[in-house]
Amino acid sequence: MSDKPTPQTLDALEARAWLATYRAAPAGYVAGAGLDLVETPDGVGLAVRDVPTGLFNRFRLTADQAPISAASVQRVLAWLGGHANAVHMIDAIAPPGFRRARSHRSGGTTVRRPPGQVLAGSGAAAARNRLHADDP
C-alpha cells in the first residue's frame, strides 16, 4: 500500500486552499476587485472580476462528478458569467480510469475532453465547446 495521495485527494486539498485564500482577503479588496466565491454540489466557484486570468476566475468541479452533466455545465457557466471576469475557465480533474482526451484549439484556449463531456474551457470558448459536447 502506498502513501502517495490520489489526484482526487490533491484536488480536494487545492480547492480548500483556494477557498481559504479567498476568504482571507481584506474586505476592501473584496469590494473593490469584485472577489466572490461559492460552494455548491457542483464544486467551488472562484472569481475576481478585475483580474483577467482563468487562474483566479474558475469553477472547480468536484472530482467525483463523472460524467459531467450538461445541467452542471449550464449552472457553472451561469455563475461564472454573473461573477467572474470575461476570462474564466471550468477546472475538472479527470475521473479515475480516464485516458486520453480529444483536444483542439479554440479562441487561443486548448480544450481537452472525451466525447460527450466538457472538461475544460475558457470564457467564450467554453460556451462554444458546450455546443459540441456530443461530437465524437
Domain ranges for the chain, please list them. 7-131
CB-based contact 54:122 (threshold 8 Å): yes
Q: What confidence tier does 4 reach under pLDDT thresholds 50, 70, 90?
A: confident
> Containing H/E element for 42?
none
Q: Cα separation of 129 and 123, whole Å?
A: 10
> What is the average per-residue pLDDT within 77-91?
92
Q: What confidence tier does 1 reach under pLDDT thresholds 50, 70, 90?
A: low
In the predicted model, is pLDDT for residue 97 greater than 80? no
Q: 24 Cβ partners below 8 Å, 6+ apart? A: none
More confident residue, 84 or 7: 84
In the predicted model, is pLDDT for residue 122 greater than 60? no
Q: Cα separation of 54 and 123, whole Å?
A: 9
CB-based contact 91:103 (threshold 8 Å): no
